Amino acid sequence: MEVVTGAMGSLLPKLGLLLMDEYNLHKRVKKDVEFLRKELESMHAALIKVGEVPRDKVDRQVKLWADEVRELSYDMEDVVDKFLVRVEGIQQPHDNTGRFKELKNKMVGLFKKGKNHHRIADAIKEIKEQLEEVAARRDRNKVVVPNPTEPIAIDPCLRALYAEATELVGIYGKRDQELMRLLSMEGDDASEERLKKVSIVGFGGLGKTTLARAVYEKIKGDFDCRAFVPVG
């Protein structure tokens, strides 16, 4: 699934973590994170839809959009991971003893924490702008995510080729008639091997292909080499 959705599966919960009070993000930054999370949830669902459709059936514009979103998700997760690691590292207890050292470590920690919050704020702002740009480009180019439930168009010839013979009334009687024509063509010597051709004509949808297939299936065991090739 990661191949389809990029880092979305692990990124969305991490964005939820950033909204927790313990990370003490600025109100504006929290608002941006909430925007990112909602936007990415929608894109995550769209990527899953894209992944459910055979890749050769996906429009090139959709492929480009999906690849761009996946790459952006990896970049975003990298930014969030670095922030979480730095903040959690600062919050770890120190082994230093003494009130002076403890105060010093606390001041250094607050300074680093402030720098990290400033960095994450800038990074979130930049990511938001990139995400908005991707969404705007999708709207401009009218990129439509395919619906996996939509039926895929099938060539009528292929549909006829694989139709069940039982779907056509009287198919076996017609099949046997064609067999008799093949085996008893006027002027043919039974011991003589020669090419024989039988034409089956009629309007579209009458079952000509299915009849030809039924004849082929009946006699193919009598030949060392055989092939059924639809042309049209």
Burial class (CB in 10 A: 0-12, 13-18, 19+), 73: buried
Placement of tokens 């008893």 in the chain: 184
Structural domain contains residue 37: yes
Co-location of 160 and 62 in the same domain: no
Give me the long-range contacts of 111-118 (CB less than 8 A, separation at least 24): 112/86, 113/87, 116/83, 116/86, 116/87, 116/90, 117/24, 117/25, 117/26, 117/29
Structural domain contains residue 113: yes
The pLDDT tens digits for 43-102 are 888 888 887 777 777 788 888 888 888 888 888 888 888 777 766 543 444 444 444 444
Structural domain contains residue 145: no
Co-location of 37 and 132 in the same domain: yes
Structural domain contains residue 151: no
Domain that holds residue 178: 156-222
User: Reduced to 3 states, what is the DSSP secondary structure of residue 66?
Assistant: helix
The pLDDT tens digits for 109-161 are 444 455 666 777 788 888 888 888 888 888 887 777 766 655 555 455 544 54
Structural domain contains residue 187: yes
Number of domains in the chain: 2
